[in-house]
Structure 1
Amino acid sequence: MKEKLQVGVLGFGTVGSGVVHILEEHKSKISQVTGYEIAIKTVLVRDLEKKRRHETTGSIKLTTDPDEVLEDPEIGVVVEVMGSITTAREYILRALKAGKQVVTANKDLIALHGDELVTAAQENQCDLFYEASVAGGVPILRTIVNSLAADKIKKVMGIVNGTTNFMLTKMATEQKTYEEALLEAQNLGFAEADPTNDVDGIDAAYKMVILTRLAFGMNVRLDDVKVAGIRGISPQDVVISDQLGYQVKLVGLAEERDETVSVHVGPALLAKAHPLAGVNHENNAVFITGAAVGETMFYGPGAGKGPTAISVVSDLIIAAKNIRLGTTGNAFNNFKHETKYTPDEQIFSKYYLRLKMNDKTGTFLKLTQIFAEAGVGFDKILQKPFDEYTATVVIITHVTSKAQLEKALKRTKQEPEIKLITNYSVVEV
C-alpha cells in the first residue's frame, strides 16, 4: 500500500467537483506518478444540503467549518477553488502558516495579493501553485517559468477571456448584436448573470497582471493596466473590420521595451492571417515572442470544469512530488525585475478609428490637418454615408506612438463637427 496524502478542498462548485472527479477517475495513474495515494479527506461547502453535480464517495467529508480543513494535521495539501478574494486570502494564509501546501485557481487573488502569499509560502517552506488561474487548461504559466526560462520574453499577447471571445465569435459569424451574444453566453453558462468582470475586461486584466509578473518579473499593479471591454463594440465595427481584413478580439498585451513594460487590455483588430485571429468561441490562446525562440502560441479551452480542474490537479501532483522529495518552499517563479512603465511616447501601434462627421466640404480636410500636426499618418480610409447630413469615416493609421494618437484625439474632441465613436489598436502579422 502506498502512503496516503490527504487533501482538503475549499469550495465545491464547478471546479471543485471537477478536481474530485479527476482524482477519482485517474487515481491509478496519479498514484504511479507521485508515489502517493492522493485522497480528498474534507471539502468545505456553503450548504450541506445542496444537491451537487458530482456526488462524493463516503470517504469524503463535507463541512461548513473551515477549521476542519485548515487545522487538520492529517491534511497536507489545500486546494482553494472558492472564487472569493478576502476570505480566500485569509484561508490560504492560514493554510501556509500551518505548513500545508496550497494550490489555487484564484486569478483575482493572485493578481492582487500574489506577492504576499508567495512570501508567506517561502517563510513556511510551503509550495504555492496557481497554474489554473490563467487560461484554464492551457499550461501557460509553467511554460513561461520553466520552458522559456532561458529566453528573454519580449511580448505576451493573448485572448484570455472565454466569455468575450465566445460573444465576439457570435457577433462575427452570426451577425448577432452585443446584447444577443451576451444572452446566448449566459444561457450556455459561459457568462455570469452579472457579466461585468468579463465584458469590461477586468478578468482579462487580472490574468495579464499574472502573465506580466512571470514573463518580465515586474509586479504591475491592476490600476496601472489600461483596460477597456467590449460593451461598445457594434455590429458595424465587426462588419467593417471584416471588410478590411481583420477580426475583432479582446486582446491582452504586455510588451517589454528597454527594460520597461506596457500592459493593456482592450478590443483590437487582428489581421486574419495572425494566429490569434482564428481563436474562436470560448477558447483561449497566448502568443509569446521571445528573443531566441521567436513566436510561439499556446491554445486550448480557457475555462470550464474539466480544463481548469486538470490544471489544478497537475499542480497538486507537482506539490505531491515536492513533498516526497523534500523540496517544498521554492517559489513558483523567482524572476524579479524593477517595475518600470513604458512612456506613451514609446508605445507604438496602428489604430482603427471610426468617426461620425458632418458630410460637408472642409470637414475631412480639417481632420487630416489635425492628425498631420500630431504626426499621425493614414494607412487606410473608408467613408460611407451615415444619413443625409453625416458620414461614417473609418481610418487605420500608420504605426504611431500612443502619445501622438492621444494628441490628435484630444484636438479632435474640440471640433463639434467630428465625433470619435471607436478607437482600437490594430495588430498585423
Structure 2
Amino acid sequence: MIQTLDLRGRRPSRAELIALVPRAQVDVTVAAGTAAELIAEVRATGEDALRSQAERLDRVRPDAIRVAPADIAAAVAGLDPVVRAALHEAIRRVRLASEAQVPQPAVIAMGPGAEVVQRWQPIERVGFYVPGGKAVYPSSVVMNVVPAQVAGVASVVLASPPQAAFGGGVHPTILGAAGILGVDEVYAMGGAGAIGALAYGVPGLGLDPVDLITGPGNVYVAAAKRLVRGVVGIDSEAGPTEILVIADATAEPALIAADLVSQAEHDEMAAAVLVTDSPELVAALLPHLERLAASTAHHERVRVALGARQSAVVLVDDLTAAAAFSNAYGPEHLELQTADPERTLELITNAGAVFLGRDAPVSLGDYLAGSNHVLPTGGQSRFSSGLGAVTFLRSQQLIRYDREGLTGVRDGIRALSDAEQLPAHGDAVDARFDG
C-alpha cells in the first residue's frame, strides 16, 4: 500500500537525500499555456470571459459574479452555530499569533545628525483566492484574511469558484467566514481567470487591481500566479499538501496512521511520509494504515495518495539521520512523535510548521492552534516561510541626515564614487557644501 525506503547503513549526502525524497511530480509549466489563455480572455472581455470560463470549467454560469452584501449577510446568518463558534475561536487565536509577528519600528543612530529609521508599511490592496474543489475551506479564509487585517491592509478582496450546487454563487460557508471577518468585496470566480482578474482588474465589475495575491489552488492557479508575478506580488506557488512524521519506538502507531490519513484525504497527490528508526513501529503501523485508509470517508483518494510515489515509510539508523532526511525534504507539516520532541527539534532546520509531541497533530494547525496553515510546499520550506502578518508588510528605510551627519561621510562617498567611476555621485554631495 505504501512504499518503504530503507536507508539504514547509509549516510547519504545532502544532494543524495534531496534526490531520494519522495515527491509528487507537479510541473506548473504544463499548465502555463492554458493559464495564459484564460488570463488573456479576462483582460480582453472581462466579465463575459469570467462567465464563459465558469460555464466551461465549473459547469455553472453565475448570474452575478460580484456577491451582493445581502448574500454575504445571509450566509453569516445561515452558518451552523457550532461552525460559527469554531470560526470565531479560530479568528481569535490566529489574530493573537499574527499580532506577535508584526515587527516594531527601529531607529539606528549612525552618528551625530545621522540616523536610519526602519519602518513597516502594509500593502494597500490584497486579493485572496479560496479554492472550491474537493473540499470547502472556510479555514483558509481565516488564515489569509486575519494576518492581513493585523498588518493593516486597508482593502481586501476574496475570490472563490462559483458552485453549481448553490446556483453559481460562492459556497455559503466560505461566504459566512468572509462576512464574519468583515470582507464585503467577494467574487464568484475561479481558476486562472480569477487570478488574472485580481491582478489586472475588471472595470465592469468594479474590481480594481490588487497589489498582492495569496491563497492556494490547483496547478492552473499556481501557473497563473507565476504568470502575473511582477505585475503583482504572490505568496507562493502552493503545491499538494505534505505531512512528514519523525517517530521513534515510543510513538503510537494508531495515531501516526490517523495523521497520515488526515493529510492524504486532501487529494490524490497529497504526500504522507513517516521517517523512523524503529522497524517494530513500521510493522505495527501498517495494519492501522490499511484499516483507516479503507474505512475513512474519502477512502478512494486516500488509497491513491498513500500508494503513490510521494508517500513512503523511510527507515533510518537513528534520529539524527531522520532529521537529516526531513531537512532535505523541507516538509510543509512536520510532526515530532519521539520520546523527547524538544530535543529532536534541535536537529530540525527546515519545516513550514513543526508539531511537537503526541497531542499536537497537524489537524490542530489546520484549524485552531492559532498558527497559520498556509505553508510552503514542495520543499520550499528550505528557503521560505508560511503566511503571516509580515507577508502583508513592506520594509522601508527612512534616511535622516543633517549637515553634520553628511559631513561625516562626505569624504567616503567621494572616494567610493570615484572608485566606481561615478563621479557625479560625489559631486551631488559636494554641491551641498559649495559656497
Question: Which TM bucket (shorter chain)?
Answer: under 0.3
Q: Give 1 or 2: higher strand fraction.
A: 1
Q: Give the TM-score normalised by structure 1.
A: 0.26
Q: Give 1 or 2: higher helix fraction.
A: 2
| Larger RCO: 1 or 2 (CA < 8 Å, sep 6+) | 2
Q: Give the TM-score normalised by structure 2.
A: 0.26
